[in-house]
Amino acid sequence: MTTYPIAIELTVWREFELNQYEIVIDAQSKLTVKRTDDVLHNRELLDPEIDLLVRSVKAIQIPLIAVPSVELNRKSAASYELIIESAHFSLEFNWEVEDLDGSKEFQALMKIVDLIQGLDQFH
């Protein structure tokens, strides 16, 4: 079986802060971390990190949820955009932290978000 490269982009908006994470899983896998388009650093990924990312991508399902019961004029504490692309698929997810309130549907998405952000913190 041929394994195709996977590109993952995660954008996290918090008040006065925009963090972008770009990951390429390929023969030369790497992580690039940006803050408002300024590259802070990049590095190659280790094999265990690649395995965790691939398992996280495989675990993602399309979350179908009801409209959250939050105030419509309330400003979100954080917003997320996650894009996962390969030769045979493209997935894009957009959500706000309020969407997660008591929702099990977003657990797999938040696991990959935590994993990606953790890759930046520990290196």
CB 25 within 8 A of CB 10: no
The two tokens of residue 70 are 């939050």
Within 10 A of 114 (CB to CB), how many other CB atoms are there?
11
pLDDT top residue among 16 and 82: 82
- How far is CA 29 from its chain centroid? 16
47-59 vs 107-121: helix axis angle to the nearest 10? 160
Taking alpha carbons only, the member of 67, 97, 64, 66 closest to residue 80 is 97
Specify the pLDDT at position 102: 67
Main-chain phi, psi angles of 46, to 5 degrees: -85, 155
The two tokens of residue 22 are 């770009």
What's the DSSP call for residue 122?
T
Domains of the chain: 6-121 (3.30.1560)
Tens-digit pLDDT profile for residues 18-51? 888 889 988 888 888 887 667 778 888 888 988 9
Tens-digit pLDDT profile for residues 59-98? 888 776 655 555 556 677 889 999 999 988 899 998 888 7
CB 6 within 8 A of CB 84: yes
